[in-house]
Amino acid sequence: MPETAKRRRRLYRGAEPVGRGSQILARKGSDLTAKIVLLNGVGSAGKSSIARALQTITAEPFLHVQMDAFLEMLPEALQDHTQGFAFETVWQDGKPSVVIKAGPVGRRAMQGMRHAVAAMAGQGNNLIVDDVLCDDEMSEYQALLSGFDLHVVGVFAPLAVLEAREARRADRLPGLARWQYDRVHKGNRYDLEIDTSLLSPIECARRIQQEFRL
């Protein structure tokens, strides 16, 4: 047998235990019941700050899954496009309100996020999920995550506070919070509700940690 072929064979054989080990780890991970904290709130409500604060105080490690990370996977050309997410500014009470319309690629990306969360949890990863749920996504999350230790947290703040925060952020269109405000929490029931206009991120995180014994 040529030396190159022998070397490839040795490399292949050497890789076999790694593959078996990965399968064993996957099986072990799937036996763990992951803890999931699902944060739902309007953009600029403070979800990401709470998630990062919560990561510093939990007894076990938690991964932070952000909606923004999945949105950033879209090509730049689809960031304001009918195939991805299209944004239209209308006016309400003399103030801008940005209507968000999801196209087929955008909807698939967000559905993929929800299934990715379930897959990560299936391997035993504790998760803090940071999302903005404007339609019926909550029911899909609850169906996908029914086998895990799921805690759903509503993150609130008055509209005036949200708009003031939004105005200070370079990565937000003025009017996103106004359009989302009446939609994000509509019909949703929470295990815990927190108001970020009254509590700091670390105070919110402590409330969550204490409430769910994390």
Catalytic residue numbers read: 68
Q: Return d(Cα 147, Cα 44) in angstroms, integer.
A: 30
Does one domain contain both 27 and 46? no
Does one domain contain both 14 and 101? no
Does one domain contain both 187 and 198? yes
Does one domain contain both 1 and 106? no
pLDDT value at 4 more than 80: no
Number of domains composing the chain: 2
Does one domain contain both 92 and 191? yes
φ and ψ of 112, to 5 deg: -60, -35
Does one domain contain both 21 and 63? no
Q: Which of 65-69, 96-100, 105-109 has the lowest mean pLDDT?
A: 96-100
Q: Which of 18-27, 73-82, 102-111, 161-170 has the lowest mean pLDDT?
A: 18-27
Per the structure block, which two tokens stand in for 21? 């080990």
DSSP letter string over 98-153?
EEEEE-HHHHHHHHHHHHHHHHHHHTT--EEEEE---SSHHHHHHHHTTTSEEEEE
Does one domain contain both 144 and 174? yes
What is the residue range of 83's domain?
A: 32-212
Does one domain contain both 15 and 59? no
Does one domain contain both 70 and 20? no
pLDDT in tens, 105-120: 999 999 999 999 999 9
Does one domain contain both 37 and 27? no
pLDDT in tens, 156-195: 999 999 999 998 987 788 889 999 999 999 999 999 999 9
What distances in angstroms separate CA 206 from CA 52, 64, 81, one per listed residue? 12, 16, 40
Does one domain contain both 2 and 46? no
